[in-house]
Amino acid sequence: MRCLAIETSTRDLSAALVDNQEVLLEVRGREEHPRAHRIWSSFMRAFQEAGYLFEEVDCVAVGTGPGRFTGIRAAVALGTGLRIALDRPLRGAPSLDLLAYAARERAVRGESLLSYLPRPGSDSFYVRSYVWEEDGPVARNDIEWVEEEELERLGLRSTWLVGPDASDRKGSGGVTAWPRASELARWVASAVSRPWPVFPLEYATAPRVRPRAEGDS
Domain with CATH 3.30.420.200 in the chain: 96-176
What pLDDT score does 195 carry? 35
Region 22-44: mean pLDDT is 85
CATH of domain 96-176: 3.30.420.200
At 193 the pLDDT is 38
> With left for phi above 0 and alpha for psi between -120 and 50, is residue 51 left, alpha or beta?
left
- HSE toward the beta carbon, residue 93, CA cutoff 13 A: 30
Banded model confidence at residue 194, pLDDT cuts 50, 70, 90: very low
pLDDT at position 32 is 62
Residue percentage of the chain with pLDDT more than 70: 86
pLDDT of residue 176: 94
Quick one: pLDDT band at residue 188, thresholds 50, 70, 90?
confident
Q: Regarding the domain delimited by 2-95+179-209, which CATH topology (the fold level of the hierarchy) does it fall under?
A: Nucleotidyltransferase; domain 5 (3.30.420)
User: pLDDT value at position 91?
Assistant: 86
Mean pLDDT value of segment 67-80: 86
- Does 196 score more than 60 pLDDT? no
Neighbouring residues of 187: CB distance < 8 A, sequence distance ≥ 6: 61, 93, 97, 98, 101, 196, 198
pLDDT the model gives residue 212: 72
Residue 204 is predicted with a pLDDT of: 44
Instruction: Give the rounded percent of residues in the chain with a pLDDT score beyond 90.
Output: 49
Ranges for all domains in the chain classified under CATH 3.30.420.40:
2-95+179-209
Contact 171, 161 (CB under 8 A): yes
Q: 64 pLDDT band (50/70/90 cuts)? A: confident
Residue 203 has pLDDT above 70, yes or no: no
For 105-148, write each residue's pLDDT tens digit: 899 999 999 999 999 888 999 999 999 998 788 899 888 999 99
pLDDT tens digit sequence for 37-46: 788 999 999 9
Please, are residues 209 and 66 in contact by the beta-carbon 8 Å criterion? yes
| For residues 70-97, average pLDDT | 88
| Residue 119 DSSP one-character state | P
**φ, ψ at 95 (rounded to 5°):** -65, -35
